[in-house]
Amino acid sequence: MLAEVTGNSASPTALSSTASAASQQREWAGKRLSPTIGFELQDVSIAAKFTEDDIASLRRLLGKHKVLVFRDQGDLTPAAHVAFARRFGPLEVHPIIAHHPDHPELVTFVHNSDSRGIENVFHSDTSFYPEPSMGSILRCAECPEVGGDTIFVNMVAAYEALSPTIKDRIADLSAMHDASVVFGNRQPTKEGRDELRKQIPAVEHPVVRTHPETGEKILFVNETFTTHFANYRQVNNGVWNQDAPAQARDLFTHLMRQARTPEFQVRIQWQRDTVVFWDNRAVQHYAISDYHPHTRSMMRATIVGDRPR
């Protein structure tokens, strides 16, 4: 069993001197889930009361491992789920996805014999917002005996693995993110799709963003919401010849494929009352839809983020 220790070492006397010293010594027992991403905590109830130092320590742990897994959270009520998530920042109320009847901050995903899973595409939640979400906290209420796993991808590692040439090419590129690519399919009429685009207009984000807490560089494009480069011509000194469209498409496709690399991934097998907390700024995910006609029911709280820079 591995133990994750945040902060620097200090004597017991030093630990008792101040609360800040105590926060530096908080240990989270658990195990790494892959060399690249993921940490499963042992014997932690997120329905319990956490100090501000505990929350700061968990935030640092999240920054390091990108995905935190909490098992056996049977005492977590929807209200406690929302309360825990709110310790990390204001919560989003999703404008489209169904939500819990008593807690609009909790979106619900229920798939069964009448509804196949549709989240089986690599994506970063709400990247179509000017300020995409900081993180998501997803609880499994019901899952099949086998199937319905989720793949999480470390997009810091995906960026780091790019060649120096590619890193130079994308350093100043930005791309468009558009909610209507996915949610427009729920609108039966052109008028409905036009209204959706007015409500949630496409936004431009840097292709490489910097993590506001760790300083790491992140490849910030995803195949669900990212549609095209916004400034490919400008970055290439205004040149737009016959080769440029094909070169732009090839580069775009190359970047999208990074999320599919197993070396950057961890695959989480759900159990009832498992909770996963991931850093949405640095992580993409893919919900595997291999369980039809069985039921998979999830609830997610999503924390408001910052503008990518």
Neighbours of 198 (CB within 10 A): 9
Q: Which of 103, 209, 281, 285 is catalytic?
A: 285
User: Which one, of 207, 214, 223, lies nearest residue 60 by Cα?
Assistant: 214
CA distances from 218 to 101, 206, 248, 255 (A): 36, 10, 20, 12
- Tell me the HSE value of 245 on the side-chain side, using a 13 A CA sphere: 1
Q: Which of 59, 81, 111, 123 is catalytic?
A: 123
**Residue 99 among the catalytic residues:** no
Q: Which of 53, 125, 178, 279 is catalytic?
A: 125
User: Which one, of 96, 30, 26, lies nearest residue 55 by Cα?
Assistant: 26
**Alpha-carbon dihedral angle through residues 299, 304, 308, 309, given to the nearest 10 degrees:** -140
DSSP assignment of 209-229, as one string? EE-TTT--EEE---TTTEEEE
CA pair distance 1, 8, nearest whole angstrom: 21
**Residue 123 among the catalytic residues:** yes
CA distances from 233 to 73, 165, 176, 178, 309 (A): 50, 17, 14, 20, 20
Please answer whether residues 70 and 46 qualify as being in contact, where contact means their C-beta atoms are separated by less than 8 angstroms: yes
**Residue 300 among the catalytic residues:** yes
> Looking at the chain, how many residues does it have?
309
**Residue 125 among the catalytic residues:** yes
CA pair distance 309, 299, nearest whole angstrom: 30
Catalytic positions: 123, 125, 285, 300
